[in-house]
Amino acid sequence: MNKVFFTSYARDDNADDSLGRTINKLKERVSANLGLTKEDIDKVVFFDTTDIQTGKEWEEKLGEALRLIRVLVCMVSPRYLSREYCAKEFEVFRRRLDLAGEKMKDKVAIIPVIWERGAPLMVLPQVINTYQWRDDRFPKSYGLSGLAALQRLRSQKEQYRKTIEVLAEVIGNAYSQSALVEYPKPVKFDDLPNWFHNPRPGPYNVTLTVLHANRSQWKPMLGGRTIGGVLDAVAISVKFAWEEIQPDLMLRQRLVEASQQRQVSIIVVERDLVAVSPWKEYLAEVIAAGTSSNCAVVFGLPPNLSGVAATPLNSELSALLPAGGGPVVDWFYTDDLKSLENALTRAITGLRMVLLAADPGQKVENPELSEAAQREGIPVDVRPMVTGPGGAAA
């Protein structure tokens, strides 16, 4: 039998085996709820510290488990959100849910578990928040502090036990009721996003490409949020869905497709990497895509440039683009994540208005976007004129 659930977690969160002990308790309670024998108990959970031996085709075995197991349990923490493989594991299940469609309506396949809340309190990505992690049966302290804190504190022993019981029931029910389909092909991890993006078809949404070794997991400021996390916060505020496009051989094609779908494309690059391979070649691909009407390049600048006036700075940065450039240029300072949030908001809001202005009367599903367009004098949601016999307006 395939294992009941796959555990996605950040290895650093298990340095003292505390997370492992929790997974063992979940394994025991899920086994009991499903009526499994002692011989079957070790077949319940895929937990890669025990299931994968170092050097034995790690990605292949990990990918096969992600293809087949029907329940994903995410041990969410600030570290979890900063690990690219956690995002990739999540993405495989999200795609499998998309493939299952109506078969999985009102059924559960992804179960976020709040392991650590962090300080300041961790903000969940919007795509994780779409999957139910709250339950009226959970103790209040679980939502406030996370499961790791309940495990550590003697005074919370009973609350910890209750939380395990509820989670085990949720996991068992999800497994028993699942109609999740297998992932149809071997998992290629390089093709998966590095952060927890929230893709959705339709115009006026956003794509993100980060030209940096860490891609959307790049943290410009020590202890700060990732680029993906900042964009997600903007997406929640401004109301749009977004998808990560990896910098690879398909970059130009993907940007052209985004333009054809009337989506905004944001390219983030550190100024000092503009002339460094492979980022300079990828930036050339951005320009070669010829999609400047829906694209912005946002530069990360060192803090010592914060006193430079905007006009000469804009000219200097535009000159860094390969010949034939023309995308909107904006910037942020790498010691100031608020400036990154502002730059992303400006670029995305402005480019969405440009696209809407080029699509007069376009039906807009997002009410906030529709209202913003109307404030700018851009006609949207115009009802088609119905003509009567002879072409007379009806």
**Is it the case that residue 248 has pLDDT exceeding 50?**
yes
* DSSP 3-state of 165: helix
Mean pLDDT rounded to a whole number for the chain = 90
The pLDDT tens digits of the residues spanning 50-83 come to 665 555 578 899 999 999 999 999 999 999 999 9
Report pLDDT for 14. 96
Percent of the chain exceeding pLDDT 90 equals 75
AA identity, residue 168: A
Would you place residue 388 in the very low, low, confident or very high pLDDT band (cuts 50, 70, 90)?
very low
The pLDDT tens digits of the residues spanning 20-32 come to 999 999 999 999 9
The pLDDT tens digits of the residues spanning 130-152 come to 998 888 999 999 999 999 999 99
The pLDDT tens digits of the residues spanning 271-326 come to 999 999 999 999 999 999 999 999 999 999 998 777 777 788 888 899 999 887 78
State how far the Cα of 317 lies from the Cα of 299, in Å rounded to an integer.
Answer: 8
The pLDDT tens digits of the residues spanning 321-347 come to 988 778 999 999 999 999 999 999 999
DSSP letters along 81-138, please? Answer: HT-HHHHHHHHHHHHHHHHHGGGGTT---EEEEE---TTTTPPPPHHHHTS----TTS
Please compute the mean of the pLDDT values over residues 383-392 and round it to a whole number: 42
**What are the CA-CA distances from residue 302 to residues 145, 173, 226, 333, 375 (Å)?**
36, 51, 17, 6, 36
40 or 147, higher pLDDT:
147
Report pLDDT for 216. 97
Query: E-assigned strands of 253-375?
Result: 264-270, 295-301, 328-333
Report pLDDT for 51. 60
Neighbouring-strand partners of residue 298: 268, 330
Three-state SS sequence of 6-23: EEECCHHHHCCCHHHHHH
State how far the Cα of 168 lies from the Cα of 31, in Å rounded to an integer.
Answer: 9
Would you place residue 43 in the very low, low, confident or very high pLDDT band (cuts 50, 70, 90)?
confident
CB 234 within 8 A of CB 348: yes
State how far the Cα of 219 lies from the Cα of 334, in Å rounded to an integer.
Answer: 9
The pLDDT tens digits of the residues spanning 104-123 come to 999 999 999 999 999 888 99
Which two tokens mark 374? 């109307």
AA identity, residue 369: L
State how far the Cα of 80 lies from the Cα of 68, in Å rounded to an integer.
Answer: 22
CB 124 within 8 A of CB 198: no
- E strand or H helix at 242: strand 242-244
**What are the CA-CA distances from residue 220 to residues 132, 138, 238, 373 (Å)?**
31, 36, 22, 32
The pLDDT tens digits of the residues spanning 254-266 come to 999 999 999 999 9
Report pTM.
Answer: 0.90
* DSSP 3-state of 277: coil
Residue 45: which of 63, 22, 11 has the closest Cα? 22
State how far the Cα of 333 lies from the Cα of 144, in Å rounded to an integer.
Answer: 33
State how far the Cα of 248 lies from the Cα of 28, in Å rounded to an integer.
Answer: 43
The pLDDT tens digits of the residues spanning 220-230 come to 998 889 999 99
Report pLDDT for 57. 78
Please compute the mean of the pLDDT values over residues 164-183 and round it to a whole number: 96
